[in-house]
Amino acid sequence: MGCLKAIESYKPYNKEEEKEKALSIKYIKNFNDIFERKNELIHITSSAWIINKSKDKVLMVHHNIYNSWSWVGGHADGDNDLLKVALKETREETGIENIRILSNDIFSIDILNVKAHYRRGEYVAPHLHLSIAYLFEADENEKTRIKEDENSGVKWIEIGKVMEYTKNEPHMQKLYSKFINKINKEAR
């Protein structure tokens, strides 16, 4: 299924996702370069919320640019197979190879504000990420590794402590809270 069809078939979790889904469809149809960073206003990223088998921990990385614990993910960079992008980013950023895809369906659609920052010495202006996320499972005993040019830590964090670890990015805490609520709802 193509990216646009996957987004169109996604069932929003709340009113915010409903609006962001509609905007995502609009932007994909109106920007022919939305899969590329050369679109400096908005571009697509693909991320992974990685939980352990018992669903009580999440695998996060300590992001160098934002100095905060974060989910994994990255830019599509021209690839419209966003599940593949999320898998690639998970392996690159964590070293985890054995990843169980809990669903081929999208886990979350969000439009995220990105503050101005420097990346590899280059100024990156404020912009938006059209974020497509997937839900993965991994073995918390598998060896991880740091990707030094992007993160300074890889760690399994108890789900109940995610907000404590992400306090440097309060705008992301609403997103992580939504993910945790979705998992808890599905577990019932």
pLDDT tens profile 166-184? 998 898 999 999 999 999 8
- pLDDT per residue as tens digits for the range 4-34: 999 999 999 999 999 999 999 999 999 999 9
Per the structure block, which two tokens stand in for 11?
A: 């069932």
CATH classification code of 3-187: 3.90.79.10
Q: Determine contact, residues 24/109, Cβ cutoff 8 Å.
A: yes
Beta bridge partners of 25: none
When pLDDT is cut at 50, 70 and 90, the band that residue 187 belongs to is low
Structural domain boundaries of the chain? Answer: 3-187
**For the whole model, what pTM was predicted?**
0.94
Q: Determine contact, residues 175/69, Cβ cutoff 8 Å.
A: no
Tell me the DSSP string of 60-125. EEEETTTTEEE-EEEE-TT---HHHHHHHHHHHHH----EEES-SS-SEEEEEEE--EEETTEEE-
Q: Determine contact, residues 158/166, Cβ cutoff 8 Å.
A: no
